[in-house]
Amino acid sequence: MSVNMFWKAIGSIALATGGLWGVLSASPVSAASYTYYVWNFPGGPTAVLNCGWHNVCISDMDGDSLDWRSPFASEIRWRSQSSNSQSISVVGSVLVIDMSSGTCNTTWARLRSPLGTDLNAIKYLHTQPYGAGTVYYVPSGLYPVSGDFRVGTTVNNDCGTYPAHLHQGYTSTNWVRNSVFPTRADCTANACRSYPSVWSNYQHQRIWTGSGY
């Protein structure tokens, strides 16, 4: 073997070994983090508020729920807009659950991530579930996309006390309520019926991050 051929062979081995070592020693690429948004809107059929933020209407305490006028047998719907930084077309799913107890009819719409992580529920009190166990998919995109499906029907004189209406809240503090809506004190002083425009605003918002799905 000539001297030139010898050094060429050594060079080839060095290049191959170096390339292999580079692959073996490379540090893992960190997964990108994505952000997901779901805005949940009023589920009642009308824009009229019966009460501001509260726990129950007989309480003087502000809480996480709003009352929407819903005449007897009114259809209650999950209404949402969703966006995400990954630009995926489905941001998660919603499972309709019957959480009724005694004379009180309650429907939960449990939001889950694309991987099935529980992201807590929107609760619709005085609402008989429609198709309990049904799973709906929440459309999304890089820009907000609307979702709309039926979750239940209001029940008149539910809990033995209340007239027909929708009491809509959430099941965890991971949801953020919209400060646009009036407080209970605002409703007492100014009458909630003077706030019809808020029906077009989201009621609760859920934000979470992940490494992509």
Report whether 62 contacts 53 (CB < 8 A).
yes
What mean pLDDT is predicted for residues 56-61? 74
- Of all residues in the chain, the percent with pLDDT exceeding 90 is 53
When the pLDDT of each residue in the chain is averaged and rounded to a whole number, the result is 84
Lowest mean pLDDT among 40-54, 78-92, 182-196: 182-196
**First CA to last CA distance, the chain:** 56
Predicted local confidence at residue 105, as pLDDT: 94
> Which residue is listed with tokens 């960190």?
30
pLDDT above 70: residue 90: yes
Lowest mean pLDDT among 113-127, 139-153, 190-204: 190-204
- CATH number of 34-210, picked from 3.10.129.10, 3.40.50.150, 2.70.70.10, 2.70.150.10: 2.70.70.10
Per-residue confidence at 205, pLDDT binned at 50, 70, 90? very high
In angstroms, the CA 189 to CA 78 distance is: 30
Q: What is the pTM of this model?
A: 0.82
Predicted local confidence at residue 13, as pLDDT: 40
pLDDT above 90: residue 20: no
In angstroms, the CA 141 to CA 24 distance is: 37
Query: Could you tell me which residue, 9 or 44, shows the higher pLDDT?
Result: 44
Query: Could you tell me which residue, 58 or 89, shows the higher pLDDT?
Result: 89
Q: Where exactly are the structural domains of the chain?
A: 34-210
